[in-house]
């Protein structure tokens, strides 16, 4: 029987942080906290010794510790208003130039200094199969224009599928490009994902400069190291954006070394960004997997990166009469 459990997780800036755990009829679980709308945990059923599939912490202190924040990897968080890098923090919205806060090597990264990952969300609605969190981002937040209302819903079904749905409305034109930054590691004991395999159903990739910012060019992957049309082991330093071909078939597949667990990713977004976590800090969370470089891999579905600075890219502008609406599904087989 599907169930829901809500419990206190701690306090952040005098605001209560709670954790909600959804469990399906198979015993498969997802836990979410309202700091950063973070996926705190995804666990296999009892028959698999409640094996943890993600990186994270079992207490709030871990998410706030200086050791974690110094080389901040955004474990499990919702990224916004705009994921990935914006060149020099400069963009434009309907022809108007906008200067965003620079927080990473002179660029704007993952929403700025205090992005959606570090804000306290509100648990809006929840039942035994889904939980919705909301966030209000005021006009001028990290220099973004417009009052923005955002909702993220996590839904778990008995087919062991987790669907993440994003919606947002603004009162004036802004840019928005949300993603989910969970690091997956499907192994029982190995703290590295480098012997795990990925398959990516994409024929094209964005060209990046040395700062992982798009040049504006789109490249074919056939017969290159970025051709993952067949399963390959995860490269140690992959941090690249693949163009989604279809929302009807999985854009990405991850399977562990012994091929006993598989995760398929479906999305109506335009980009799948794969990051192999080569900057993950070395940490030893109590009761969780030890972290280190390549301890997990991210499947970040999103819009085109730095889109407003490239004429050929589809825009991430949200106008006041529009609704931002995207979905990503993580389907597990074990």
**241 and 272 Cβ atoms separated by less than 8 Å:** yes
Q: Which entry of 142, 197, 300, 308 is annotated as an active-site residue?
A: 300
Helices (H), the chain: 60-64, 66-70
Annotated catalytic, 181?
yes
Q: What single-letter DSSP state applies at residue 225?
A: T
Q: Dihedrals φ, ψ of 88, to 5°?
A: 55, 15
Tokens coding 269: 């977004």
> In whole angstroms, what separates CA 266 from the centre of its chain?
13
> In whole angstroms, what separates CA 218 from the centre of its chain?
23
322-325 contacts, C-beta under 8 A, 24 or more apart: 322/169, 323/167, 323/168, 323/169, 324/166, 324/167, 324/168, 324/169, 324/176, 324/178, 325/165, 325/166, 325/167
Q: Which entry of 82, 107, 110, 181 is annotated as an active-site residue?
A: 181
Largest CA distance in the chain: 56
Q: Enumerate the active-site residues.
A: 181, 300
């Amino acid at each position: 029987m599907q169930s829901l459990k809500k419990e206190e997780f701690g306090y952040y800036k005098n605001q209560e942080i709670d954790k909600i755990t959804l469990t399906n009829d198979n015993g498969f679980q997802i836990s979410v906290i309202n700091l950063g709308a973070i996926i705190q945990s995804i666990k296999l059923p009892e028959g698999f010794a409640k094996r943890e599939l993600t990186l994270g912490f079992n207490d709030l202190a871990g998410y706030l510790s200086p050791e974690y924040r110094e080389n901040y990897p955004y474990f499990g968080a919702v990224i916004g208003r705009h994921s990935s890098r914006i060149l020099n923090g400069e963009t434009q919205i309907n022809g108007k130039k906008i200067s965003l806060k620079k927080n990473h090597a002179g660029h704007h990264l993952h929403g700025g200094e205090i992005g959606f990952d570090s804000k306290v969300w509100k648990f809006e609605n929840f039942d035994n199969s889904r939980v919705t969190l909301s966030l209000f981002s005021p006009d001028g937040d990290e220099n973004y224009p417009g009052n923005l209302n955002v909702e993220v819903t996590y839904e778990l079904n008995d087919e062991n599928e987790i669907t993440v749905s994003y919606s947002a409305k603004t009162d004036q034109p802004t840019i928005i490009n949300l993603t989910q930054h969970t690091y997956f590691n499907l192994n029982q004991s190995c703290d590295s994902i480098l012997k795990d395999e990925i398959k990516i159903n994409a024929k094209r990739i964005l060209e990046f400069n040395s700062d992982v910012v798009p040049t504006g060019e789109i490249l074919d992957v056939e017969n290159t190291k970025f051709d993952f049309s067949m399963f390959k082991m995860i490269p140690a330093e992959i941090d690249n954006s693949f163009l989604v071909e279809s929302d009807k078939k999985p854009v990405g597949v991850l399977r562990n070394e012994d091929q006993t667990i598989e995760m398929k990713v479906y999305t109506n977004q335009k980009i799948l960004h794969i990051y192999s976590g080569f900057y993950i800090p070395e940490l030893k969370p109590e009761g969780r997997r030890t972290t280190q470089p390549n301890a997990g891999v991210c499947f970040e579905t999103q819009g085109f990166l730095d889109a407003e600075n490239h004429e050929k890219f589809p825009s991430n502008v949200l106008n006041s009469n529009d609704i931002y609406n995207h979905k990503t599904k993580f389907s597990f087989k074990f």
